[in-house]
């Protein structure tokens, strides 16, 4: 989780999106991929960037560690991060910070649970996830 929070610091700043980092770990505990928001495209989300590097059966039963709750609603693209996680067959999502309703309602955790994905929130690390987003939170 700390690595995901560190990756969020690498995001180009945005006034219209959170800075997020994500790490995907296989069922065997080994890292498969990582990514961060706006890594190669201004509309990339962290989970989306990581999943783009990790297609295939290695994802089945794996875990996504994300600094922010994966999006359950999205304005910039038709597929949400929760849609992508469910489609990839990932079994668990661990996140540090629940998505504030600044841009869209934070519904990712509920959508994931409704599709049988285990969701774990680590609020003790939420401060680390908020740090690269301080410019958005002062509003």
C-alpha–C-alpha distance, residues 54 and 92, integer Å: 16
Q: Which burial class, exposed, middle or buried, applies to 108 when counting CB atoms under 10 A from its CB (0-12, 13-18, 19+)?
A: buried
Structure tokens at 13: 């700043």
Structure tokens at 83: 């849609």
Residue 52, sorted as left (phi over 0), alpha (psi -120 to 50) or beta, turns out to be: alpha
3-state secondary structure of 84: helix
Q: Which residues belong to the active site?
A: 47
């Amino acid at each position: 989780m700390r690595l995901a929070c560190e990756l969020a610091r690498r995001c180009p700043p945005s006034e219209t999106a959170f800075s997020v980092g994500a790490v995907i770990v296989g069922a065997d505990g080994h890292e498969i991929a990582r990514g961060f928001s706006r890594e190669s495209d201004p509309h990339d989300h962290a989970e989306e960037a990581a999943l783009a590097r990790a297609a295939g059966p290695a994802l089945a039963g794996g875990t996504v560690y994300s600094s922010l709750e994966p999006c359950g609603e999205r304005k910039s693209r038709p597929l949400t991060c929760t849609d992508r996680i469910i489609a990839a067959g990932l079994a668990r999502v661990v996140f540090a910070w629940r998505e504030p309703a600044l841009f869209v309602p934070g519904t990712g955790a509920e959508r994931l649970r409704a599709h049988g994905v285990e969701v774990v929130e680590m609020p003790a690390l939420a401060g680390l996830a908020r740090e690269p987003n301080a410019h958005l939170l002062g509003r």
